[in-house]
Amino acid sequence: MTGDDGPHDERSTTTQGADSDTPDGTSTPAGATARTAMAGETSADDAFAPDATVPAPTTRDELLRRAARYARTVPLDVDHAAVDWELSERAVRRAGACRYDATDDRVTIRLTWAAYRAYGWPAFAAVVRHELVHAWEFQQYGESGHGPRFRRVADSVDAPRHCEPFTEPRLRLVCTAADCEWTAGRHRASVVVTHPERRRCGDCGAPYAVEHVASGERWRSHAGYQAARERIDDW
């Protein structure tokens, strides 16, 4: 997934794109593309599933090192020496994000610690593959999205086309039309939440209400939002 859903956490852990140690103690050149599974990482039964017999990372530094090492086993023509790995502590929706800096031709993959804790390593490895496809697109074309090219390459490495949110939304947009069932979750108080009178339902065009999921409070205007904020203790 490109971008991120929160400001950069200056305290996040970072791993530079450098040579990484393999489980047998040898070193793999940073720019090499892994075309075969690295020993002790991928399962013989599944070309992309990490080996469940290898202990899952238990610390943030271990997760970054494991993700970078696992990425080298995915058969994509990625220059791993030009990929940096970071950990986000603040993202509340996206399990991962990928950014490209054209000035130095470097890619940064940012993983979310809370998402890893929610998913576990075997499932989180799919997030790594998803972000690695973005990295491949950035390095090859200078841009990345979720279009046909991304979907084709993602399918080739069994990567999800979209990473599911790892937390339930705190807020929900609900269409007010009786015959429309449109809803949309939100995690932050963006303008669609604070000024719902300015927007319309994504399906039928009718006005919508915003619901604070935990309390059940609803509002349809900025004044209603302000009043709800005063009433809700645990926002």
Domain boundaries, the chain: 14-156, 171-231
| Residues, the chain | 235
Q: Which residue has the higher pLDDT, 175 or 40?
A: 175
* Residue 128 confidence (pLDDT) above 90: yes
Whole-number Å distance between alpha carbons of 152 and 135: 15
Structure-block tokens of residue 190: 């963006």
Six-digit token string for 134: 């973005």
Q: Tell me which residue of 112, 116, 114, 95 sits closest to 164, measured CA to CA.
A: 95
Q: Is the pLDDT of residue 179 over 90?
A: yes
3-class SS shares of the chain: helix, strand, coil, % to 5: 30, 20, 50
Q: How many CB atoms lie within 10 A of CB 176?
A: 14
Averaged over 107-118, what is the pLDDT? 92
- Answer whether residue 30 shows pLDDT above 90: no
Q: Could you give the angle at the alpha carbon of 26 between the alpha carbons of 106 and 69, nearest 5°?
A: 40
Give the per-residue pLDDT at 46: 54
Question: Distance of alpha carbon 103 from its chain centroid, rounded?
Answer: 24
- Given a contact cutoff of 8 angstroms between Cβ atoms, the answer to whether 155 and 133 are in contact is no
- Do 224 and 180 meet the contact criterion of CB atoms below 8 Å apart? no
| pLDDT at 40 exceeding the cut of 60 | no
Q: Given a cut of 50, is residue 108 above it in pLDDT?
A: yes
Average pLDDT, the chain: 81
